[in-house]
Amino acid sequence: MLLDIARAILAQPTAPFHEDAVRAEILMQLAQCPHVTTELDDFGNVIACYRRGTGEARYAFAAHMDHPAYVGGEFLGGVPVEYREKNPPLRDFGAFAMWDLPAFELRDGRIFSRACDDLIGCAAMVALFHELERAGAETCVHGLFTRAEEVGFVGAIRLAQSGRVPKTLTVVSLETSSEKGGPAQMGAGVIVRVGDRTSIFDDAATASLLDAAQRAEIPVQRCLMSGGTCEATAYQLYGYRSAGLCVALGNYHNCGPDTQIASEFVSVDDVAGMVRLMVAATTGAPAADPHAALRARLEAGVASYARFTEPPV
């Protein structure tokens, strides 16, 4: 299911401010989910909501629908000039042009694509909604699919400024993140991202995700991924409690070996783990205090050294 969803979304061309094909595919796939409602904000970001039962939502997951590309002859997004000046072949989509690379290839347990960043995050979120439907989960969760992240979080900032997303929700950014930007290993599990190049995320929200992973026995890596800045930083600037999940990304922004433009790639297992962790966080009982287990462990240590404390005077 995940691969079918990913293949269909990755097949859509995209660029900053030209996300309409990706958005149409996402809306079509979400229309198959009877408990999911979708709406667009003034800027064209998608706000989705799965609701079954009476539970309050705790999370809004967030992914962006664009990818660096040429728009009207101008390159939008972070790709160093030494890659671009080699004039790699382009594929023209009318209003914009992408690198002429395959949309989707599956090889050795990895997905290769011209635009894993962040269509993989979008696909993971759609897979979450489908999985909740399949399981008949009684829960409520929001999904934010944003535009024009690659030029400075334009969609996320417009959405945050609009106040449409309640501040009671924890916003969890879903990203693919350069494997060079941290100690994470591709294939070793979804990454609970404690921060990005610019900021660190909410400690309690991060602890809650780690707690959910541990309870569901999902392998995770806990890392600072400093290769780029993600939307969690943007939402945090507008007062949202934020956290991040990501998967390690090879050839970040299509920058391959020898200064050649190449397909980005991710591990299928890592992406599946990301979906499982979202399901676990969304459906599991919230930890009353995500720090309780750690505090209990440390307090047991304190007690075990009671014999070394000074006698009372």
Q: Using CB under 5 A, list all residues that contact Zn ion.
A: 117
- Please state the closest distance from residue 115 (CB atom) to Zn ion, in A: 9
Which is closer to Zn ion, CB of 223 or CB of 279?
223
Q: How many residues does the chain have?
A: 313
* Residue whose Cβ sits closest to Zn ion: 117
Least Å distance, CB 13 to Zn ion, is 16
Cβ closest to Zn ion, residue 117 vs residue 202: 117
Nearer to Zn ion, 46 or 76 (CB): 76
Smallest distance from Zn ion to CB 252, Å: 8
Give residue 53's region: left, alpha or beta (phi > 0; psi -120 to 50). Answer: left
Across the strands, what pairs with 173? 62, 244
Closest distance between Zn ion and the C-beta of residue 39, in Å? 25
Q: Which C-beta is closer to Zn ion: that of 117 or that of 196?
A: 117
Q: From CA 64, how far away is CA 158, in angstroms rounded?
A: 13
Task: Give the DSSP per-residue string, 18-84.
Answer: B-HHHHHHHHHHHTT-TTEEEEE-TT--EEEEEE-SSPPP-EEEEEE----EEETTEEES---HHHH
Our CB check for Zn ion shows the closer of 117 and 211 to be: 117
Q: Which residue has the tokens 């020898």?
A: 258
Shortest Å, Cβ 136 to Zn ion: 35
Quickly list DSSP for 223-287. Answer: EE--SS--HHHHHHHTT-EEEEEEEEEBSGGGB-GGG-B--EEEEHHHHHHHHHHHHHHHHSPPP
Cβ nearer to Zn ion, comparing 228 with 273: 228
Considering the complex, what minimum distance in angstroms separates the CB of residue 273 from Zn ion?
21
As measured in angstroms, the least distance from the Cβ of 148 to Zn ion is 11
- Residues whose CB falls within 8 Å of the CB of residue 215, separated by 6 or more in sequence, listed in order: 280, 284
Give the separation between CA 285 and CA 244, rounded to whole angstroms.
20
Considering the complex, state which of residue 178 and residue 236 has its C-beta at the smaller distance from Zn ion.
Answer: 178
Q: Which is nearer to Zn ion, 18 or 241 (CB)?
A: 18
Listed residue (156, 169, 168, 171) closest to 41, CA to CA: 156
Spatial distance between the Cα atoms of 84 and 210, rounded to a whole number of angstroms: 39
Q: How far apart are CA 259 and CA 242, in angstroms?
A: 34
Q: Cβ of residue 117: shortest distance to Zn ion, in angstroms?
A: 4
